[in-house]
Amino acid sequence: MMDSFKKIILISLSLITLLSINGCRKKYFATAEDESSYGWDMYEEGDYLKSKNWFYNSIATDKKWKDGYNGLGWSEAMLMEMDSLDTENIGAIRNFHRGLTFPYSENDILYYDYPKDKGKDIDSLFTQQDVHLEILAGLTFAYQANGNNKETVKFGTALIDSTKSNSLDTPFRPWEFSHDPKINHLDIRVALASSYFALGKFDSTHVHLKVVINELNVSDITLITEYSTLAGRQEVAKQIKTLQELLRQQ
């Protein structure tokens, strides 16, 4: 009888303890970083409508969360929801610009979980994301899609210049989109080459094409150097298109 009584007391104490623990638990609220992190998960899965909503939630939670505008811009760009600064329609370009207005030093580098197919070793658990450079890249591609070559050159050059070495101790940091490594500095350079070509600045076109072709090291692609004739410029235009298609396939 005493043993049964002890069991009842122990069970009662256990229930009281569990109720006390549950009663002391604080409600958990998702942060802007939580919401943008989940937004990138959706983006990497190709669900740009859902990622757009999560990034929108992140900036609703914190209007100064730089990566929220970054992700919102990239999601809208993938949905071809472009805009321009002189229209009322708010899309990728406007949101990228909003992201640029917030301090670079506070949240320029973030670390998110790698996609599951990146491996499970300890060194591959996190990926580094430079938010500021990703916004510059987003603006480069968005302006090119809108046919604004001057702005494409402006932001593409800003990105390339930001990755150059300023000293012997600082190595060159080729840019790569942390949420899709198939998009990298070579795509930026082809975009720059295309826009410089459209602007008639052939020396700059040549510089960027040379970098791309040298790094790709494709045996059947030879850099075209003839810009003085119409036929030569037509061949350059074809080469730019070929490189764009090649980079999409990689």
Q: How does pLDDT run across 137-194, given as a tens digit for each residue?
A: 999 999 999 999 999 999 999 999 888 755 455 455 789 999 998 999 999 999 999 9
Span 31-53, pLDDT tens digits: 889 899 999 999 999 999 999 99
d(CA 127, CA 118): 10
Count how many domains the chain has. 2
Domain match, 160 and 188 both = no
Span 66-108, pLDDT tens digits: 999 999 999 999 999 988 656 667 899 999 999 999 875 444 5
With left for phi above 0 and alpha for psi between -120 and 50, is residue 241 left, alpha or beta? alpha
Angle CA(196)–CA(77)–CA(151) in degrees, nearest 5? 30
Amino acid at position 7, single letter: K
Domain match, 203 and 108 both = no
pLDDT at 128: 52
Query: Predicted confidence band at 120 (pLDDT cuts at 50, 70, 90)?
Result: very low
Domain region containing 68:
30-164
pLDDT at 236: 96
Q: Indicate if the pLDDT at residue 200 is higher than 80.
A: yes
Strand partners, 184: 176
d(CA 241, CA 235): 10
Number of alpha carbons in the 13 Å side-chain half-sphere of residue 56: 11
Domain match, 93 and 121 both = yes
Domain match, 140 and 219 both = no
The answer to whether the pTM exceeds 0.85 is no
How many other CB atoms are there within 10 angstroms of residue 81's CB atom? 19
Domain match, 237 and 145 both = no
- What is the crossing angle of helices 92-100 and 66-78, to 10°? 160
Domain match, 154 and 35 both = yes
Domain match, 123 and 39 both = yes
d(CA 92, CA 76): 5
Max CA-CA distance within the chain? 107
Q: Indicate if the pLDDT at residue 214 is higher than 80.
A: yes
Contacts of residue 64, defined as CB under 8 A and 6 or more positions apart, other chains included, come to 102, 103
Q: Indicate if the pLDDT at residue 2 is higher than 90.
A: no
pLDDT at 162: 85
Number of alpha carbons in the 13 Å side-chain half-sphere of residue 19: 6
Domain match, 38 and 106 both = yes
Domain match, 202 and 98 both = no
pLDDT at 10: 44
| b/e code 146-180 from CB counts within 10 Å (16+ = b) | bebbebbbebbbebbeeeeeeeeeeeeeebbbbbe
Instruction: Give a yes or no: residue 19 inside a domain.
Output: no
pLDDT at 46: 95
Instruction: Give a yes or no: residue 82 inside a domain.
Output: yes
The pair of three-digit structure tokens given for residue 29, joined into one six-digit string: 């609220």
